[in-house]
Amino acid sequence: MSFYDRTDAGRRLAAELQKFKGEDVVVFALPRGGVPVAEPIATLLIAPLDLVLVRKIGVPFQPELAMGAVADGGNPVVVRNDDVIAMADVSEQEFQQTCARELEEIERRRRLYLGGRVRPEAKGHIAIVVDDGVATGATTRAALRAVRARGPKKLVLAVPVAPPDTLESLASEVDEIICLETPRAFGAIGFFYRDFRQISDDEVIDILDRCARTAGGA
């Protein structure tokens, strides 16, 4: 196993991100799994922690297979995996219906996690987008585009583990990628953690509260 748990992965990533300490940084986590990875980074950099809300758009009869992803709610960013859509013979109506359901879940999470929190300004800052790993890259791409739309001066993707071909496909979306391990034999993100349990909504809220107290953040 490469990492004990997400907090361990976050601490190790934070060590690679020390060069940004003292800069105007905002850390964006993909909930739920990316939030405990992001906490040690935000703490070390004394940076506000915000969320980028993104959901996989799964094939209706095989939800784990991503035919796309959608990020944020007001002006949603939709990424399509056209090869998967064609292979699964998914109609445009089915795609849009599934996308709409995921947008509803994004809005639910926005109300639950963020509520009345004052969200940090990203424009002109260094934005570091964090998750617990990247597999196909669909949700990551949507998240990066949503954060890019907020006008950061630099966009950084920081993840513990990802396959090299996926990182290569994401390179054009960011200014810098920091990834600790890039195994060619990938499988699934959970293979690289000893403890990869599901993170609860309450844990996400607790981490946001702790980081807000530390940095006056999200």
Identify the CA nearest to 28 among candidates 65, 63, 53. 53
pLDDT, tens digit, for every residue of 140-173?
999 999 999 999 999 999 999 999 999 999 999 9
Domain boundary residue, one of 71, 89, 113: 113
Same-domain pairing of 39 and 127:
yes
Same-domain pairing of 33 and 69:
no
> What CATH number should be reported for the domain holding residue 150?
3.40.50.2020
Q: CA distances (Å), 203 to each of 21, 23, 207, in order? A: 26, 28, 6
User: Packing angle between helix 34-45 and helix 6-16, nearest 10 degrees?
Assistant: 40
- Whole-prediction pTM: 0.92
Please write down the HEC assignment for all residues of the chain: CCECCHHHHHHHHHHHCHHHCCCCEEEEECCCCHHHHHHHHHHHHCCCEEECCEEEEEECCEEEEEEEEEECCCCCEEEECHHHHHHCCCCHHHHHHHHHHHHHHHHHHHHHHHCCCCCCCCCCCEEEEECCCCCCCHHHHHHHHHHHCCCCCEEEEEEEECCHHHHHHHHHHCCEEEEEECCCCCCCHHHHECCCCCCCHHHHHHHHHHHHHHHCCC
Domain boundary residue, one of 90, 113, 136: 113
pLDDT category at 187 given cuts 50, 70, 90 is: confident
Between residues 65 and 16, which one has the greater pLDDT? 16
Same-domain pairing of 125 and 91:
no
CA distance 33 to 104: 19
pLDDT at 218: 45
**Stretch among 4-8, 25-29, 114-118, 154-158 having the lowest mean pLDDT:** 114-118
pLDDT at 8: 98
pLDDT at 147: 95
pLDDT at 50: 96
Domain boundary residue, one of 88, 113, 138: 113
CA distance 167 to 177: 8
Query: Does pLDDT of 174 surpass 50?
Result: yes
pLDDT, tens digit, for every residue of 27-39?
999 999 999 999 9
Please enumerate in sequence order all residues whose Cβ is within 8 A of that of 77, keeping only pairs 6 or more positions apart, or say none. Answer: 70, 71, 142, 145, 146, 149
Q: What value does the mean pLDDT take over residues 189-193? A: 95
Domain extent at residue 101 = 55-113
Domain count, the chain: 2
Give the chain's mean pLDDT.
Answer: 93
Query: Does pLDDT of 217 surpass 60?
Result: no
pLDDT, tens digit, for every residue of 47-88?
999 999 999 999 999 988 889 999 985 678 999 999 999 999
Same-domain pairing of 89 and 173:
no
pLDDT category at 213 given cuts 50, 70, 90 is: confident
